[in-house]
Amino acid sequence: MIHARPGVTRADAARLIGVGTGATTELVGRLGHAELLAETPAAPSGSRGRPTTALIPHPRGPLIAATSITHEQWRVDVVELGGAALATVREDLGDRTGDEVVAAVGAAVSRLRTEYGDRIRGIGIAVPGTVSRDLMLDASNLNWRNVDLAAIWPKAGIFVAGNDATLAASAESHRGAAVGASVALHLRVEAGLGGAVVDGGRVLVGALGAAGEFGHMPFGDPTVECPCGAYGCWGTAVDGSALARLLGHHQPRDPISYARRIIASTDPAPAAATATAATALGRGIAGLVNGLDPDLVTLGGLGTDLLAAAPAHIDQAYRAGLMGFRRENPPPILPSTLGDDGPLAGAAEEAWTALLTTLV
């Protein structure tokens, strides 16, 4: 309850769990003794009755190291119960190889474990690629193959790693724009495009754990080769590489920052390229909505930028591609509320889910 509803009052927690005053006192006492929660005076609610307290994470309670690796930087947050970050370390990738980035992240996690001691119980990692069951990372857009993520914390009690877009989808359904949706489709444009279907709060991960690679559906230009090896991938029609191709620029080394600059520009050529990418995004979303029947679609990463810059182009292509019966009341396309923090928030959430089962 404290994790799902940070700052919940003791009175509300008791009501939501359905326990009486005596049982609540005993429960709060035991969880406090176990150094899982503490109490602090709650802001007056304005209603009658005795003042209550807010239940907060214990100052010596367990923590998670939540990590994200993007195409441009890595970051480690120390996250407490409820999802708040106590510390953040980050650095640009620069020219590092995958193994060098893993070593840099591992050194940062090791320093944080020295600083916070045994409180850091596990790690969750979001990566821009696919992760095998034995924690090997392939990130085709970074040209990384077989990068051993386990080296970040070799003997971690809890070690969860997953695709950034999949984890962002999970976070969006737990704490973002898709809370309460029965079937949510989350799409994230970075270098390429990924995402996930969340069915009743559960992310569909697929038989190999590699579902959600929507950016590699052939909705794009069939003459364009994707870094994955296929031709015509949708991701190559909506990301920074698409904008660079449309504008006759070299492929950018910083594809996300580059794309943000182009999408933010109001000059005619960048605006036209942005409109073309937005149209390709809207068309593909229509295809996925026809096939998956979600009740809403959330857009993260550069998808949020495209939605803000060219909403009419996305909407027009989306509606044109929808089956007729869906057009009257199409599932809304919403910006992600967690934004660039989505993958990291999802990594923290997955690690906390694993940790919570060991605490109770």
Position 47, amino acid = S
Q: Which is nearer to Zn ion, 116 or 231 (CB)?
A: 231
Q: Which is nearer to Zn ion, 13 or 233 (CB)?
A: 233
State the minimum distance, in angstroms, from the CB of residue 241 to Zn ion.
11
Contacting residues for 164 by C-beta, under 8 A, at least 6 apart: 68, 69, 70, 126, 127, 128, 188, 190, 194, 342, 343, 346
Q: Which is nearer to Zn ion, 182 or 251 (CB)?
A: 251
One-character DSSP codes across 89-142:
EEEE-TT--HHHHHHHHHHHHHHHHHHHGGGEEEEEEEESSEE-TT-EEEEGGG
Q: Starting from the edge strand earliest in sequence, which strands make up the sheet with 136-139, in order?
A: 130-131, 136-139, 144-148
CA triplet 78, 79, 84: central angle to 5 degrees? 125
- Is there binding between residue 224 and Zn ion (CB under 5 A)? no
Quick one: which segment of 181-189, 193-201, 228-236, 296-304 binds Zn ion (CB under 5 A)?
A: 228-236
State the minimum distance, in angstroms, from the CB of residue 192 to Zn ion.
7
Cα 300 → chain centroid: 8
Position 280, amino acid = A
Q: Which is nearer to Zn ion, 130 or 173 (CB)?
A: 130
Q: How many CA atoms lie within 13 A of 67 on its CB side?
A: 29
State the minimum distance, in angstroms, from the CB of residue 288 to Zn ion.
16
Q: Which is nearer to Zn ion, 233 or 314 (CB)?
A: 233
State the minimum distance, in angstroms, from the CB of residue 166 to Zn ion.
16
State the minimum distance, in angstroms, from the CB of residue 188 to Zn ion.
15
Cα–Cα distance, 52 to 13 (Å, whole number)? 11
Q: Which is nearer to Zn ion, 188 or 216 (CB)?
A: 216
Q: Which is nearer to Zn ion, 113 or 188 (CB)?
A: 188
- Is there binding between residue 226 and Zn ion (CB under 5 A)? yes
Quick one: which segment of 23-31, 231-239, 249-257, 278-286 binds Zn ion (CB under 5 A)?
A: 231-239
Are 220 and 197 spatial neighbours (Cβ–Cβ below 8 Å)? no
β-pairing, 158-163 vs 183-190, is: unpaired
Q: Which is nearer to Zn ion, 56 or 233 (CB)?
A: 233
- Is there binding between residue 230 and Zn ion (CB under 5 A)? yes
Q: Which residues of 185-207 are buried (b: 16+ CB within 10 A; e: fewer)?
A: bbbbbbbbbbbbbbeeeebebee
- Is there binding between residue 85 and Zn ion (CB under 5 A)? no
Q: Which is nearer to Zn ion, 233 or 338 (CB)?
A: 233
Quick one: which segment of 35-43, 77-85, 149-157, 227-235 binds Zn ion (CB under 5 A)?
A: 227-235
- Is there binding between residue 228 and Zn ion (CB under 5 A)? yes
Cα–Cα distance, 36 to 185 (Å, whole number)? 34
Quick one: which segment of 178-186, 232-240, 264-272, 337-345 binds Zn ion (CB under 5 A)?
A: 232-240
Count of other CB atoms within 10 angstroms of residue 251? 11
State the minimum distance, in angstroms, from the CB of residue 355 to Zn ion.
35
- Is there binding between residue 242 and Zn ion (CB under 5 A)? no
State the minimum distance, in angstroms, from the CB of residue 228 to Zn ion.
3
Total of chain residues touching Zn ion, rule CB under 5 A: 5
Burial of 53 (0-12, 13-18, 19+ CB in 10 A): middle
State the minimum distance, in angstroms, from the CB of residue 17 to Zn ion.
47
* Residue 83 Ramachandran class (φ > 0 left, ψ -120 to 50 alpha, else beta): left
Interface of this chain with Zn ion, residues 135 to 174, rule: CB under 5 A:
none
Among 14, 233, 246, 307, binds Zn ion (CB under 5 A): 233
Cα–Cα distance, 236 to 244 (Å, whole number)? 10
State the minimum distance, in angstroms, from the CB of residue 235 to Zn ion.
6
Interface of this chain with Zn ion, residues 184 to 223, rule: CB under 5 A:
216
Cα–Cα distance, 14 to 10 (Å, whole number)? 6
Residues lying near Zn ion in the complex (CB under 5 A) are found at 216, 226, 228, 230, 233
